[in-house]
Amino acid sequence: MSALENKVAVVTGAASGIGKATSELFAAEGATVIAVDLHAEQADAAAAAVGGVAVAGSVSDASTWEAVVAQATALGGLDVAHLNAGVYGYVDAIEDLPLDLYERTVGTNIGGVVLGVRALVPLLRARGGGAIVATASVAGIVAFAPNPLYTLTKQAVTGFVCALAPNLVKDRITFNAVCPGVVDTPMTVGALQGLDPAAMGFTLISPATIAANVLDLATSEGTGRCRAVLPGREIDWEFPDWSQLGG
């Protein structure tokens, strides 16, 4: 039997990049995918490509999550969620940071995870357990100076995962983060602005590689893991907990 046979899964940012690859892999493993994306046309196309159902809307909006819960309920429940939607942040002078860009970045990258967990944990609990994987970044582990705003949001995600995961163990819900390096996605292409990643010392990782790690994190034992996915290797990064600090 496939890993997700007869399961119901949610994937945000499902229309492109990592979300698209995860949706395709989850569907190939037997899941019915609820494909969430910002615009209806993209969400519909993402859902149609994997035989799933679509939800259009911003992951920073609680009403989008109400629609996701309604779709999952209509399908009988929820087993897995990949909270993946994200935006790149801001790379110019901090004093020039547009407020709307700040709010959109924080709302998508942090709010899309927090609101997603808030909405979906009751569904997973009702199912007797399940798995949530959030997309963070290696910037969620090691600060990325060219983009402090992105770093802020991704370190918030890894911190949230590590802090919340132990609280979900009693519900048999695992909560992990995948922390990719530089992935060959439309967001990366836009961030590079035409520059050659190889000339900059970057080896691009395929979205399919990240999707495979998402599937593994969702279906293997362990929680509170922050997995750095780098070219040719993966590292399950362990953050210290309070007991290790002493005093």
The three-point CA angle 210-216-217 to 5° equals: 90
Distance CA 104, CA 30 (A): 34
Distance CA 119, CA 112 (A): 11
What is the three-class DSSP state of 223?
coil
Q: Is 150 marked active-site?
A: yes
Distance CA 87, CA 168 (A): 27
* CB contact set of 54 (below 8 Å; sequence gap of 6+): 34, 35, 36, 37, 40, 43, 44, 46, 47, 48
For the record, the structure tokens of 83 come out as 């909270």
CB 89 within 8 A of CB 188: no
- Where are any strands of DSSP class E within 152-210? 173-180
- The secondary element (H helix, E strand) that includes residue 54 is strand 53-56
Which one is catalytic: 88, 90, 102, 150?
Answer: 150
Distance CA 141, CA 235 (A): 11
Q: Which residues are catalytic?
A: 150
